[in-house]
Structure 1
Amino acid sequence: MAEPGPSDLRGFLAVAEAGHLTDTAAILGISQPTLTRRIRRVEEFTGATLFDRTGRRLVLNARGRAFLPHVRRMIAELEDGVAKVARLMDPERGVVRLDFMHSLGTWLVPDLLRDYRARHPHVEFRLHQGAARQLVGRVLSDTADVALVGPRPEEAGGELGWHQLRLQRLALALPEAHPLAAEGAVPVNLQEAAEENFIGMLPGYGTRLLLDRLAAEHGFTPRLVFESMELTTVAGLVSAGLGVALLPLDDPYLAPVGIVLRPLDPPAHRELGLVWRAGAGAAPPVDRFREFVTAADRADGGWTSRRAGG
């Protein structure tokens, strides 16, 4: 007895979802007898009839309903495998799994994708947003190919490749009426805010990692009164007087209305860069995209300079 092939399983799934042989055959672009033979091969392999006929419709019986989720998983696994092979073959029509932090979704990622897709319009991107540490984990587990994160992860130089794209100076964000805001943009030591309420990012997010690290270096633990997934929310709540925050000075989309940004002294920075699995290769679409991002001449009139101060 021959095992059913992928086309047989897809035929079974299509009939199970549509409930009609003639209509399903037309959708699949095959004859009804061909589709009937495909269904029969699946039933012969399982050793049971999987459909009951109700008028002109075919309805899954209990055996068919039990088999259906397994067929769906088999087809999904097959398609995933085919997609992975395709990614290894054609740099112009493959897939790049790109992860990025929420704060980069308004400027860096759109600029980057716009320029790359203008050169390689048939490459497919599968995008995912998340916390910096989560994204690093996804790259390490091969759930993502590359990720735009910050700060530089501890795995960089070992399990991960790293290319720095931007270096943003960090500042203490203060409500305009706050006493520490009176000196304007004069640099400030973070220790001066040790007793303040902080608005911060959620644990695992890049700017939160920086806040926790810098506060520890200054001998205190920040008192968090609200944690967010978005830097814009953090800035907005600071402007409302709910607390202070650690923010980058030159993010083009933060629009710090109603707040004063005082650079940290000693200076501290938020590194933004691209990570990938060290030694990963042989996937031309991913390799070409990574080369595009990391090419030094991109900074000369390319996407990295499009946003002034970005």
Structure 2
Amino acid sequence: MNDVSSGDLRGFVEVAESGHLTESAAALGVPQPTLTRRIRRVEAAVGASLFDRLGRRLVLNARGRAYLPHARAALRDLSEGRSKVARLMDPERGTVRLDFMHSLGTWMVPDLLRDYRALHPGVDFQLHQGASRLLVERVLADAADVALVGPRPAEAGETLGWHQLELQRLALAVPEGHRLAVDAPVDMREAAGEPFIGMLPGYGTRLLLDRIAGDLGFSPHLVFESMELTTVAGLVSAGLGVALLPLDDPYLAPRGIVLRPLDPPQHRELGLVWRAGVQEAPPVDQFRRFVTAR
């Protein structure tokens, strides 16, 4: 099959609509012989003549009428494709695929988006929430451009870029009236025998709980696993168990619990990840520079 260019298809559609080679050539800004060659290439590609000549007019035959909607659709698709590429290359009108953990949806993400869109209102965002580990894997698989996660993933500095945005001290949360409900730092081994409320596997605070407890030589007995830190805090206040929670989350305002900083101190790192060594589209690069400059 002969190759057909978008110019060939535009020539065919123009002649199909006007019925005149001379007028169509003038409308397209090409010599008439060039337009004739374009029509012939289209006909050679489909293996059939597409026009009948009636006097000075070229009129689509049945084969031409069958082909015309497909030629128009192909031109429309090519135009939309060019527009999408151009949009990706325009830092003021592109799209950023931003993933983030559930616990950041109440404060960090709204704050970032509000400030960024005030400066760049034409940028679109495709948002996705999930567990920290899943979000890291989505960035690595190019299902997301950037992600707000914690703790710092193992791939940071190798296949992933990383920029720390927050460092929150971690605490053991216990219900008021609990034997451990005192105003002082605590070694988490004192709670080794307690029932724990935790996040689901793969979530950031759960990764921290498993690592810290493992380093201290015990495995927490989990009686409930959640996707939301607010749920974890609420169940601790109801007396169902203890939990690992950040001290400095501005929208986690637990009632009925006591937060005891860990001793030795442990922290929850929150930051932005992206694929290292990849030349991102201008909208993504612009957003990443905005976040890392804060």
* TM-score, normalising length: structure 2: 0.74
Matches of 2:115 and 2:63, distance apart in 1: 49
Partner of 2:245: 247
Whether contact under 8 Å (2:197, 2:223) holds in the other structure is yes
Matches of 1:91 and 1:130, distance apart in 2: 26
Identity over aligned pairs, percent = 75
| Alignment CA distance shift 1:284-1:257 (3 Å) | same
Matches of 1:209 and 1:79, distance apart in 2: 47
CA deviation after TM superposition for structure 1 residue 107, in Å:
0.2
CA deviation after TM superposition for structure 1 residue 42, in Å:
8.1
Q: Secondary structure at the match of 2:213?
A: helix
Q: Secondary structure at the match of 1:40?
A: helix
**Runs of 4+ off more than 2 Å:** 36-45, 77-88
Partner of 1:307: none
Partner of 1:24: none
Whether contact under 8 Å (2:236, 2:257) holds in the other structure is yes
Gaps of 5+ in 1: 8-33, 46-70, 299-310
| Alignment CA distance shift 1:214-1:105 (3 Å) | same
Partner of 1:161: 161
Matches of 2:113 and 2:98, distance apart in 1: 10
Q: Any residues of structure 2 matched to 1:178-189 within 5 Å, and which?
A: 178-181=178-181, 183-184=182-183, 186-189=184-187
- Would you say 1:40 and 2:104 are equivalent positions? no
Partner of 1:191: 189
| Partner deviation per Cα, 1:12-35 (whole Å, 9 max, x = no partner) | xxxxxxxxxxxxxxxxxxxxxx9x
CA deviation after TM superposition for structure 1 residue 288, in Å:
0.3
Partner of 1:93: 93
| Partner deviation per Cα, 1:232-273 (whole Å, 9 max, x = no partner) | 000000000000000000101111100000000000000000
AA aligned to 2:130 is G
* TM-score, normalising length: structure 1: 0.70
Q: Aligned residues, how many?
A: 240
Partner of 1:115: 115
Output the aligned Cα RMSD: 3.1
Whether contact under 8 Å (1:170, 1:267) holds in the other structure is yes
Whether contact under 8 Å (2:100, 2:130) holds in the other structure is yes
Whether contact under 8 Å (2:88, 2:95) holds in the other structure is no
CA deviation after TM superposition for structure 1 residue 116, in Å:
0.0
Gaps of 5+ in 2: 10-59
Partner of 1:172: 172
Partner of 1:206: 204
| Partner deviation per Cα, 1:68-88 (whole Å, 9 max, x = no partner) | xxx9xx9xx989966762454
AA aligned to 1:155 is E
